[in-house]
């Protein structure tokens, strides 16, 4: 299996622009997570899905952020409009059902908002 | 709520030194505990895990024992190598929430 695949690897955009980050989880995994990593705040959970359904989005910073999972093999995280404080590394991760299963992380998207 | 607290870094050691990175947790019930490692430019990857009290997780010379009495899961390695330089994250998942909770991460640098 190719693992969790994220795209793009790097994104540079200007303030106010829309940004879309993409994720393909490992086939057969029931859970998908979006995390954000910054020096100041560490690794923060933004939202997670179970069987394509959003379960907990309490970590989404504000209404500018939205996430979808239209099918079991694809998810997007959208920021509209983007702001410089959104600059971070965004990770997607997936896991099998069950709470004590390990997470498989993608390589992340480095987002820079100028 | 569920959370983990790990020692702040950065930690700098000489090659072959002994490593300890402390991690304590707060959780309802009996969580599973994990250590993840992140190498530069990469995502996190599982290093080891333990799912019940007194379990010892081990991998690549690293060990951690699930101590319910002290709510701890400290990471240890007897002799570190330069290639162990990375950021280490303690994490927890519990039956009452399916998301993984991570500590702040500890950056380890091993010098030759």
**Residue B90 structure tokens:** 């303690």
Position B98 scores a pLDDT of 64
Query: Residue B44's closest chain A neighbor by CA?
Result: A105
H/E element holding B52?
none
Eight-class DSSP state of B72: B
**Strands B106-111 and A109-113: what pairing?**
unpaired
**Please, what sign has the CA dihedral across residues B25, B72, A107, B9?**
positive
- Note whether B99 contacts A100, CB cutoff 8 Å: no
Position A42 scores a pLDDT of 87
**Residue A58 structure tokens:** 């309490």
- Note whether B43 contacts A43, CB cutoff 8 Å: no
Mean pLDDT of A4-17: 97
Residue B83 touches chain A, beta carbons under 8 Å: no
- The alpha carbon torsion through B104, A80, A27, A103 (nearest 10 deg) reads 10
Average pLDDT of the residues of chain B: 92
Closest by alpha carbon to B74, among B108, B38, B33?
B33
pLDDT reading at A21 higher than 90: yes
Cα dist from B100 to A9, A49, A80, B12, whole Å: 23, 13, 27, 27
Residue A74 touches chain B, beta carbons under 8 Å: no
Calculate ∠ Cα A2-B105-B13, nearest 5°: 105
Position A1 scores a pLDDT of 63
Tens digits of residue pLDDT in A37-89: 998 888 999 999 999 999 989 999 889 999 999 999 999 999 999 999 999 99
**B108 DSSP β-pair partners:** B11, B86
Confidence category of residue A35, pLDDT binned at 50, 70, 90? very high
- Note whether A100 contacts B104, CB cutoff 8 Å: no
Which stretches of chain B score pLDDT less than 70?
A: 95-98
Within 8 A of B104 by CB-CB distance, chain A residues are: 42
Q: Please name the member of B46, B95, B101 whose beta carbon is closest to the beta carbon of A102.
A: B46
Other Cβ atoms closer than 10 A to B64: 26
Distance CA A94, CA B77 (A): 28
Tens digits of residue pLDDT in B82-110: 999 999 999 998 766 667 889 999 999 99
**Residue B77 structure tokens:** 């390695």
* DSSP assignment of B76-94: EESS--GGG-EEEEEEEEE
Query: Residue B40's closest chain A neighbor by CA?
Result: A107
Burial (CB count <10 Å: 0-12, 13-18, 19+), residue A21:
buried
Position A39 scores a pLDDT of 86
Widest CA span in chain A: 40
**Omega before A111 within 30 of 0, i.e. cis:** no
Tens digits of residue pLDDT in A88-102: 999 999 998 766 678
Position B101 scores a pLDDT of 86
Closest by alpha carbon to B98, among A26, A6, A53, A66?
A53
Could you tell me how far CA B60 lies from the centroid of its own chain?
Answer: 13
């Amino acid at each position: 299996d190719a693992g969790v695949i994220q795209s793009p690897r790097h994104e540079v955009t200007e303030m106010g622009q829309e940004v879309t980050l993409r994720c393909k989880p490992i086939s057969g995994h029931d859970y998908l997570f979006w995390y954000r990593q910054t020096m100041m705040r560490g690794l923060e959970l933004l939202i997670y899905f179970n069987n394509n359904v959003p379960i907990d989005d309490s970590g989404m910073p504000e209404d500018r952020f939205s996430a979808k999972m239209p099918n079991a093999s694809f998810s997007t995280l959208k920021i509209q409009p983007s702001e410089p404080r959104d600059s971070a590394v965004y990770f997607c991760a997936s896991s099998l059902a069950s709470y004590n299963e390990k997470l498989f992380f993608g390589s992340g998207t480095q987002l820079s908002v100028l | 709520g569920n959370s983990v607290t790990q020692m702040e870094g950065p930690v700098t050691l000489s090659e072959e030194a002994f490593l300890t990175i402390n991690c304590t947790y707060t959780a309802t019930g009996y969580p599973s505990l994990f250590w993840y490692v992140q190498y530069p430019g990469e995502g996190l990857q599982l290093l080891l895990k333990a799912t019940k009290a007194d379990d010892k997780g081990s991998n690549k010379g690293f060990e951690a024992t699930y101590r319910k009495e002290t709510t701890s899961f400290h990471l240890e390695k007897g002799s570190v190598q330069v290639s162990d330089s990375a950021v280490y994250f303690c994490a927890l998942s519990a039956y009452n929430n399916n998301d993984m909770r991570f500590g702040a991460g500890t950056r380890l640098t091993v010098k030759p």
